[in-house]
Amino acid sequence: MHLRYSLAPIAMSALFAAPAIAAGLSVNIEIPRLNVSEYHRPYVATWIERADSTMAGTLAVWYDVRTKTNNPEGEGTKWLKDMRQWWRRGGRELAVPVDGVTGASKPAGKHQLSFTEGSGAMPKLAPGAYKLVVEAAREVGGREVVTIPFQWPPTAAAQPVAAGKEELGEIKLELKP
């Protein structure tokens, strides 16, 4: 279990600052190890969609955060649009980088994200049906979208799981009432 990047503070603040009544969710995203000749870490966007496929909120975006000054290949933001579904649903409305939402692309392995409703990246959600969507797009590689439907607010703790076939491994959603 790697918690290597900057999301630890969010998880911590959620633990300490949020009142006990706020519901939350955790997402565990597996980036598979791929046996390919040219490997680049995938761009990954994680967000919540309403039942009508509109964007409720972007939880996390991992991309190549290098800029022109420290990357001869140019700015990594150029390829954000390759996470096509996220880009169309609302990614293009964001001005990256966004504190607590965007971060550097991650290596193969499992990555845990935790959110509390109404704090950090997770918006307050009206009761209803939602989807957790994880989209990965890899340079010289493929693209994959994994979706997990869920009901909000959760009435009981639940851990729905889905898995990608190519660009994403196991995606685990943990609902915390």
| Residue 150 binds other proteins, judged by CB under 8 A | no
Of 20-49, binders to other proteins (CB under 8 A) are none
Least distance in angstroms from the C-beta of 55 to other proteins: 13
| Residue 55 binds other proteins, judged by CB under 8 A | no
**In this chain, which of 4, 33, 40, 78 binds other proteins, going by CB under 8 A?**
78
Of 87-146, binders to other proteins (CB under 8 A) are 87-88, 91-93
Measured CA to CA, the distance from residue 17 to residue 129 in angstroms comes to: 27
Least distance in angstroms from the C-beta of 95 to other proteins: 9
The residues facing 120 across adjacent strands are none
CB 58 within 8 A of CB 120: no
CB 18 within 8 A of CB 10: no
Q: Can the peptide bond before residue 153 be classed as cis, meaning omega within 30 degrees of 0?
A: yes
Q: Which stretch binds other proteins (CB under 8 A): 9-17, 28-36, 80-88, 116-124?
A: 80-88
Measured CA to CA, the distance from residue 126 to residue 106 in angstroms comes to: 31
Measured CA to CA, the distance from residue 14 to residue 19 in angstroms comes to: 9
CB hemisphere CA count around 20 (13 angstroms): 0
Least distance in angstroms from the C-beta of 97 to other proteins: 13
| Residue 50 binds other proteins, judged by CB under 8 A | no
The DSSP output letter for 76 is G
Q: Which stretch binds other proteins (CB under 8 A): 44-52, 74-82, 146-154, 156-164?
A: 74-82
**In this chain, which of 41, 84, 110, 176 binds other proteins, going by CB under 8 A?**
84
Determine how β-strand 128-137 pairs with β-strand 170-176: unpaired
The residues of the shown chain that bind other proteins, judged by CB under 8 A, are 75, 77-81, 84, 87-88, 91-93
